[in-house]
Chain A
């Protein structure tokens, strides 16, 4: 027993009931096992990555400000496009949602912590290393990855010495996501408070549970795909080379088998967030809870059988095109159910418009716009025109920026007082909302027109007839970017101090859920004693 004690294990056992606080100094973060600390690290990391990825987008937009090549070499431009996407997806949006999961899932299901706390910290700490590896490619002579975030061969195989760095960075991100997802599933399935049956869980938890299944199912497939790239490059395999009996398009199938569920990985937790916020500020219960859950499940299921809608132009057999068109269109049905249910929740409610609600409502509008353009893309003949044009860029930014990113901001504004114990500056937050909403539309709406008029994506320079809308779009980009400085400032302020938040935070509203039964900020160990849920 004494050896055990020396490792500080039995010591805890002896007085496992102690109410110790966090460790002091850097050890608290580096050796963390606490879900709130890890959640905080995830969120801050993701904010940093959002700024880095955004800076890259601004380089892209600056070059596209007017026709002609003014600022950067075309290769570097491609690198910026590629890195922007990788950083935003794997560095900003996904970690932000994992951070939210870490903070909120134990609070919402009445658990003391995440189920596997050490692995939780492992998942987080892999990320800074992975992105160090990825971002450091910029400092190599041969330049960073420039084949698009989709890394299609044979183009991806033309990279220089930074190729394996990119591949391994992706492997690491995948490992992190898989462990994070396992943790979420185990926590939700095993750690719920007594009485918290599955269909009593908050929709945010549901959204994340299903997202976690998607992650475990598809991240390993991405790992497999990029591993095959690596062996084609270094070890002479022929997976993606016709000469040896392979096919470049095979990569695309494997990649999009991951890639399509991936986009829902970035939106299902957002659905969860919105499903929490709208009822609170409508002072009315969520309309159609059960169907909301089933709709998420249906979307997740369908997401596995639609992948080839990203590849309609590769020359698939007719039957394949038909199948993937129809299955893709079907996704509009469960998604529509969600939109209608949110609307019905607001209908005959009693609405107030605090910052989280503003972002949630904006999400409703603009995600729907992005969904509609998605539906248009699903129509194969029309996609022959839209594909690889700025119309696609407009589509996915509508679902990702005023979709996923707005939902993340809504979530932060919703739960920030709970986390820090301080209210934030509502006036500034509303200003942030209006600036963001106006500029984001200025930024992405004109891209629909550009795409329809025939502007391909991933080009650093364009023909003069595209000049005007590009100018508008770039102005929108810089406006939107600056507005985000405000966001960082508001968060910073609330961490530093401010009016004391009550336990319920939104006393005027009708927030549901166990998180509001704890103090703001909650005790270091969330639910020492499991609450009883009736």
Chain B
């Protein structure tokens, strides 16, 4: 991380936009969105519509904001230092996402390592089992001593989840191929493999949706299937949400690439999205191992 600027030519100045309406639009959009969500959760009239209005505003904000950034970028207002800022910003954003997921992985770990064994009377919590949950045998998966949500079955790792793993890993490879193509100036390869990547992403989401339907309809595995259902759906759900976001971003990058954006040396948006995609990939590996498999 070397020094940002050198005193010198104006072209080498760090670009500082003079004003922008998008932050305030974004902040109000967030407010409308969560206010709508509150109303919706409390079954207030129109909550859902306020929520949707908020989302629309948010989408507007993203389009407007990123649109401005893309225009600035394409008119070469950004020097190397600005590019570096974007990269660092993206990396630390992804790190914050990692920490978000680690809260849920932490919950999974705590439940399996502590709360479930304790309810079964292990360690310091012998009386917990003797006096409160006498018949409970600790095991995993479980929906707890009160059998919350009723009997359920789990989704075996080496069925759809394994296929999904293969899909995501493949998408990582196609994305890397696209990146190399971009750097080599091979636009056709780039467009094809980028398209493949987000198609694989959407395929993953489709299969995941299929799996959810199966879980709810046939296996009685739901969000309220005790701690197993809670951790299962929260982890896979937030992951699925992130895959969706990632796939949409890939789609946008692909559209831009079709329009001729990016050069072999100048393509932060592509790289940022690629990092994000790899992050989503890695989280999935964690899910596959700790949620489905072990």
A135 at interface by CB-CB < 8 Å? no
- In the complex, residue of chain A having the shortest beta-carbon distance to the beta carbon of B90: A182
Interface residues of A in 482-534 (CB under 8 A from B): 525, 528-530, 532
Q: Does B260 contact A (CB under 8 A)?
A: no
Partner of B230, one of A182, A194, A231: A231
CB distance from B70 to the nearest CB of A (A): 11
Pick from A161, A221, A525: contact of B42, CB under 8 Å: A161
**Interface residues as binary, B64-106 with A (CB distance below 8 Å gives 1, 0 otherwise):** 0100100110010100010011101100110111011111101
Q: Does B4 contact A (CB under 8 A)?
A: yes
**A97 — which chain B residues lie within 8 A by C-beta?**
none
Contact of B144 among A245, A249, A532 (CB under 8 A): A245
Q: Tell me whether A13 and B77 are in contact in the complex, defined as CB-CB below 8 angstroms, given that A112-B13, A122-B26, A245-B142 are known contacts.
A: yes
Residue of B nearest to A166 (CB): B38
Whether B107 contacts A119 by the Cβ 8 Å rule is: no
A250 close to B (CB within 8 Å): yes
Q: Is A164 within 8 A of B104, CB to CB?
A: no
Q: Does A168 contact B (CB under 8 A)?
A: yes
A125 part of interface (Cβ distance < 8 Å): yes
Partner of A224, one of B71, B100, B114: B100
B229 at the interface (CB under 8 A from A): yes
A239/B227 contact (C-beta < 8 A), A111-B4, A164-B37, A172-B30 known? yes
> Could you tell me if A119 and B31 are in contact, using CB atoms closer than 8 angstroms?
no
A49 to chain B, nearest CB (A): 17
Instruction: Tell me if A196 is interfacial: C-beta within 8 Å of chain B.
Output: yes
Which residues in window 134-180 of A have CB below 8 A to B? 161, 164-165, 168-169, 171-172, 175, 178
Q: Give a binary string over A1-26; 1 marks a CB under 8 Å from any B CB, 0 the rest.
A: 10110011110110011001001000
Q: Which of A27-35, A371-379, A392-400 contacts B (4 or more CB under 8 A)?
A: A27-35
- Residues on B with C-beta less than 8 A from A234 are 41
User: What 0/1 readout, one digit per residue, does chain A (188-209) give for beta carbons within 8 Å of chain B?
Assistant: 0111111110000000000000
A223 cross-chain contacts in B, Cβ below 8 A? 100, 103
Given A126-B30, A164-B41, A247-B110: A221 touches B100 (CB 8 Å cut-off): yes
Expressed in whole angstroms, the Cα–Cα distance for A122 and B125 within the complex equals 48
**B4 to nearest A CB, angstroms?**
4
- Total contacting residues, chain B, CB less than 8 A: 86
Once the chains bind, are B17 and A118 in contact (CB under 8 Å)? yes
| Residue pair B84, A190 in contact (C-beta under 8 Å) | yes
Q: How far is the CB of A260 from chain B (nearest CB, A)?
A: 15
Return chain A residues, CB-CB under 8 Å to B7: 194, 529-530, 532
Q: Bits for B1-32, please: 1 = Cβ < 8 Å to A, else 0.
A: 10111110011011111111111101110110
Q: Could you say which of B116-124, B154-162, B169-177 contacts chain A? A: B116-124
Q: Evaluate contact between B16 and A4: CB separation under 8 angstroms.
A: no
**Docked pose: A198 CA to B47 CA in angstroms:** 50
A121 to B144, CA, bound (A): 46
In the bound complex, what is the Cα–Cα distance between A241 and B103 (angstroms)?
A: 17
CB neighbours of B104 from chain A (8 A): 224, 228
Asked whether any CB of chain B lies closer than 8 Å to the CB of A115, the reply is yes
Distance between Cα atoms of A227 and B34 in the complex (Å): 13
With A221-B100, A530-B6 in contact, is A253–B110 under 8 Å at CB?
yes
B35 at interface (Cβ–Cβ under 8 A)?
A: yes
Contact indicator B230/A219 (Cβ below 8 Å): no
Residues of the A chain whose Cβ atoms lie less than 8 Å from the Cβ of B93: 178, 182
Contact residue among B75, B86, B107 (Cβ-Cβ distance under 8 Å from A250): B107
Contact B223 A225 (CB under 8 A): no
Least CB distance, B262 to chain A, in whole angstroms: 17
Q: Which of A8, A13, A196 has the most CB of B within 10 A?
A: A13
B3, B16, B115, B125: the one within 8 Å of A246 (CB) = B115
Could you say which residues of chain B place their CB within 8 Å of the CB of A530? Answer: 3-7
The CA of A172 and the CA of B77, in the complex, are separated in Å by: 31
Neighbour of A254 across the interface among B103, B116, B143, CB < 8 A: B103
Q: Is the CB of B106 within 8 A of A115?
A: no
- In the complex, A220 has a CB within 8 A of chain B: yes
Given contacts A133-B35, A190-B88, contact A244 B16 (CB under 8 A): no
**Nearest neighbor of B148 in chain A, beta-carbon distance:** A244
Cα–Cα, bound, A3→B37 (Å): 37
**How many angstroms from the CA of A219 to the CA of B37 in the assembled complex?**
21
B84 to chain A, nearest CB (A): 5
A250 touches B111 (CB 8 A): yes
Q: Are B144 and A244 in contact (CB under 8 A)?
A: yes
Contact of A246 with B230 in the complex, beta carbons under 8 Å = yes
Query: Hey, which chain B residues are within 8 Å of A196, CB to CB?
Result: 3
Residue A217 interfacial (CB < 8 Å): yes
Cross-chain contact B26 with A257 (CB below 8 angstroms): no
* Chain A hits for B245, CB < 8 A: none
Q: Does B60 contact A (CB under 8 A)?
A: no
User: Shortest beta-carbon distance, B272 to chain A, in Å?
Assistant: 13
Q: B240: CB under 8 A from chain A?
A: no
Q: Which residues of B contact A13 (CB under 8 A)?
A: 75, 77
Could you mark each residue 72-107 of chain A with 1 if its beta carbon is under 8 Å from any beta carbon of chain B, else 0?
000000000000000000000000000000000000
Q: Which residues of A contact B20 (CB under 8 A)?
A: 31, 33, 118, 121
CB distance from B159 to the nearest CB of A (A): 24
Residues on A with C-beta less than 8 A from B34 are 133, 165, 168-169, 171-172
Q: How far is the CA of A117 from the CA of B69 in the complex (A)?
A: 12
Tell me the minimal C-beta distance from B169 to chain A in angstroms.
26
Evaluate contact between B118 and A247: CB separation under 8 angstroms. yes
A133 & B31 in contact (Cβ 8 Å cutoff): yes
Query: Are B72 and A237 closer than 8 Å at their CB atoms?
Result: no
Q: Which residues of A contact B4 (CB under 8 A)?
A: 111, 190-193, 530
* Residues of B with C-beta under 8 A to A250: 107, 110-111, 114-115
**B145–A242 CB distance below 8 A:** yes
Bound CA–CA A271/B4 (angstroms): 27
Q: Does A129 contact B (CB under 8 A)?
A: yes
Interface residues of B (CB under 8 A from A): 1, 3-7, 10-11, 13-24, 26-28, 30-31, 34-35, 37-38, 41-42, 65, 68, 71-72, 75, 77, 81, 84-86, 88-89, 92-93, 95-97, 99-104, 106-107, 110-111, 114-116, 118-119, 123-125, 132-133, 142-146, 148-149, 222-224, 226-231, 233-234
List 8 tightest A-B contacts by C-beta distance, closest first: A224-B103, A236-B224, A245-B144, A245-B227, A243-B146, A237-B230, A247-B115, A244-B226
Known: A164-B42, A244-B227, A244-B230. 16 other contacts (CB 8 A): A9-B75, A17-B10, A31-B20, A112-B16, A116-B85, A121-B24, A129-B31, A172-B31, A178-B93, A182-B93, A192-B4, A217-B99, A219-B96, A237-B233, A244-B143, A247-B118
7 contacts between A and B (CB under 8 A): A30-B21, A194-B3, A219-B96, A239-B231, A246-B230, A316-B124, A525-B16
